[in-house]
Amino acid sequence: MAQQKVEIEITDANDYRVLRPTGDLDVYTVGSLRDAIGTLIEQESPKVVVDLDGVPFMDSSGLGALMGGVRRLREAGGDLAICCTREQHLKLFSITGFGEGVSIAPTVEEAAAGFRN
Protein backbone atom coordinates (compact mmCIF):
# COMPACT_ATOMS: atom_id res chain seq x y z
CA MET A 1 0.00 0.00 0.00
CA ALA A 2 2.42 2.64 1.20
CA GLN A 3 5.46 1.47 -0.80
CA GLN A 4 3.58 1.21 -4.12
CA LYS A 5 5.19 2.69 -7.15
CA VAL A 6 3.52 5.17 -9.39
CA GLU A 7 3.73 4.55 -13.13
CA ILE A 8 4.01 7.67 -15.23
CA GLU A 9 3.08 7.64 -18.90
CA ILE A 10 4.31 10.53 -21.00
CA THR A 11 2.59 11.32 -24.31
CA ASP A 12 3.08 14.07 -26.86
CA ALA A 13 0.25 16.44 -27.65
CA ASN A 14 0.56 19.43 -30.01
CA ASP A 15 3.04 21.71 -28.29
CA TYR A 16 2.94 20.15 -24.86
CA ARG A 17 3.37 16.82 -23.10
CA VAL A 18 0.83 14.92 -21.06
CA LEU A 19 1.96 13.16 -17.89
CA ARG A 20 -0.37 10.41 -16.74
CA PRO A 21 0.59 9.04 -13.35
CA THR A 22 -1.13 5.80 -12.35
CA GLY A 23 -1.20 5.08 -8.63
CA ASP A 24 -1.16 7.06 -5.42
CA LEU A 25 0.82 10.30 -5.35
CA ASP A 26 2.15 10.42 -1.83
CA VAL A 27 5.41 10.89 0.04
CA TYR A 28 6.64 7.49 -1.22
CA THR A 29 5.95 8.07 -4.91
CA VAL A 30 6.28 11.81 -5.58
CA GLY A 31 9.95 11.36 -6.45
CA SER A 32 8.90 9.80 -9.77
CA LEU A 33 6.66 12.74 -10.66
CA ARG A 34 9.37 15.22 -9.67
CA ASP A 35 11.93 13.32 -11.80
CA ALA A 36 9.56 13.15 -14.79
CA ILE A 37 8.97 16.91 -14.67
CA GLY A 38 12.73 17.47 -14.26
CA THR A 39 13.40 15.38 -17.38
CA LEU A 40 10.85 17.37 -19.41
CA ILE A 41 12.52 20.62 -18.34
CA GLU A 42 15.88 19.24 -19.46
CA GLN A 43 14.34 18.22 -22.79
CA GLU A 44 13.06 21.79 -23.13
CA SER A 45 9.44 20.70 -23.15
CA PRO A 46 8.27 22.98 -20.39
CA LYS A 47 4.56 22.78 -21.16
CA VAL A 48 2.98 19.93 -19.30
CA VAL A 49 -0.53 18.76 -18.52
CA VAL A 50 -0.71 16.35 -15.59
CA ASP A 51 -3.72 14.07 -15.89
CA LEU A 52 -4.79 12.97 -12.42
CA ASP A 53 -7.51 10.55 -13.50
CA GLY A 54 -5.28 7.59 -12.69
CA VAL A 55 -4.44 8.91 -9.24
CA PRO A 56 -6.93 7.69 -6.63
CA PHE A 57 -5.10 9.35 -3.74
CA MET A 58 -2.91 12.39 -3.37
CA ASP A 59 -1.55 13.79 -0.12
CA SER A 60 0.25 17.02 0.71
CA SER A 61 3.52 15.62 -0.67
CA GLY A 62 1.85 14.87 -4.01
CA LEU A 63 0.29 18.30 -4.05
CA GLY A 64 3.66 19.81 -3.11
CA ALA A 65 5.35 18.06 -6.03
CA LEU A 66 2.68 19.34 -8.44
CA MET A 67 3.03 22.88 -7.13
CA GLY A 68 6.81 22.66 -7.19
CA GLY A 69 6.40 21.50 -10.79
CA VAL A 70 4.30 24.58 -11.59
CA ARG A 71 7.02 26.80 -10.18
CA ARG A 72 9.89 25.07 -11.96
CA LEU A 73 8.11 24.85 -15.32
CA ARG A 74 7.17 28.53 -15.17
CA GLU A 75 10.77 29.44 -14.39
CA ALA A 76 11.75 27.41 -17.49
CA GLY A 77 9.33 29.42 -19.60
CA GLY A 78 6.52 26.87 -19.64
CA ASP A 79 3.61 25.94 -17.41
CA LEU A 80 1.87 23.06 -15.72
CA ALA A 81 -1.86 22.53 -16.11
CA ILE A 82 -3.93 19.89 -14.38
CA CYS A 83 -6.59 17.65 -15.86
CA CYS A 84 -8.75 16.39 -13.03
CA THR A 85 -12.32 15.28 -12.43
CA ARG A 86 -11.81 13.68 -9.05
CA GLU A 87 -13.76 15.50 -6.35
CA GLN A 88 -11.23 14.65 -3.66
CA HIS A 89 -8.31 16.27 -5.51
CA LEU A 90 -10.37 19.26 -6.63
CA LYS A 91 -11.28 19.84 -3.00
CA LEU A 92 -7.60 19.69 -2.01
CA PHE A 93 -6.75 22.31 -4.68
CA SER A 94 -9.56 24.49 -3.43
CA ILE A 95 -8.70 24.15 0.30
CA THR A 96 -5.05 24.98 -0.17
CA GLY A 97 -5.65 27.76 -2.64
CA PHE A 98 -3.45 26.17 -5.30
CA GLY A 99 -6.41 25.92 -7.66
CA GLU A 100 -6.46 29.69 -8.07
CA GLY A 101 -3.14 30.09 -9.81
CA VAL A 102 -3.15 26.97 -11.99
CA SER A 103 -5.25 25.88 -14.94
CA ILE A 104 -7.40 22.98 -13.79
CA ALA A 105 -9.96 21.48 -16.15
CA PRO A 106 -11.82 18.20 -16.69
CA THR A 107 -10.09 17.45 -20.04
CA VAL A 108 -6.48 17.62 -21.15
CA GLU A 109 -7.33 20.02 -24.01
CA GLU A 110 -9.24 22.40 -21.76
CA ALA A 111 -6.43 22.31 -19.20
CA ALA A 112 -3.85 23.03 -21.93
CA ALA A 113 -5.96 25.94 -23.16
CA GLY A 114 -5.27 27.62 -19.82
CA PHE A 115 -1.45 27.62 -20.08
CA ARG A 116 -0.09 30.91 -18.92
CA ASN A 117 3.05 31.30 -20.99
Partner 1 sequence: MKLSLRWKIVGGFGLLLLLIVLLGFVTVSLFSSLRSVQRKVFNEAIPELVAVDELVRSYTAQSAAVHRLLIGSGSAPLLDQYRQEVGIAEVWEQRAERLFQEAEDQRLLEELTRAGRRFQELVDQEVIPLAETGKRSQAFRVLGSEGSSLISEIETLGSLLRQSQDRVVAQSENQLRARSNQALLILIVVILAALAAGTMLAIKLPRRLVADLSALVDATRAIERGDLAQKIEIQSGDEIEELGRRFEDMQAGLKRLQQLALQDRELEIAASVQRNLLQRSMPSPTEATVVPLQRQANLVGGDWYDVHAAGKTLTVAVGDASGKGIGAALMAAIALSVLRAERRLGASPKLIIERTNEALREASDQDSFTTLIYATLDFGSGEARWLNMGHPSPFLMKGPADDGARTGYFLEGPRNRVLGWFDDPGLAETIVRLDPGDRLVFFTDGFIEAKSVEGEVFGQHRLAERMQSLSGLPSGPLGEALVEEVERYAAGKLDDDLTMLIVEFQGANPEAPSEEGVGAWHSRK
Q: Residue numbers of the site for partner 1 (CB under 8 A)?
A: 1-2, 24, 26-27, 30, 34, 56-57, 59-61, 63-65, 67-68, 71-72, 88, 94-98, 100-101
Q: Are 47 and 15 in contact (CB under 8 A)?
A: yes
Partners of 20 in the β-ladder: 9
- Shortest distance, position 108 Cβ to partner 1, whole Å: 23
Rounded CA-CA distance 43/26 in Å is 25
At residue 23's C-alpha, the angle toward residues 22 and 26, to 5°, is 125
Nearer to partner 1, 53 or 59 (CB): 59
Nearer to partner 1, 43 or 96 (CB): 96
- CB closer to partner 1, 44 vs 97: 97
Rounded CA-CA distance 53/30 in Å is: 16
* Residue 12: CB minimum distance to partner 1, A: 25
CB of 7 to partner 1, least distance (A): 16
Q: Are strands 47-51 and 17-22 parallel, antiparallel or unpaired?
A: parallel
Name the residue nearer to partner 1 (CB basis): 83 or 102. 102
Q: Least distance to partner 1 from the beta carbon of 102, Å?
A: 11
Q: What size, in residues, is the chain?
A: 117
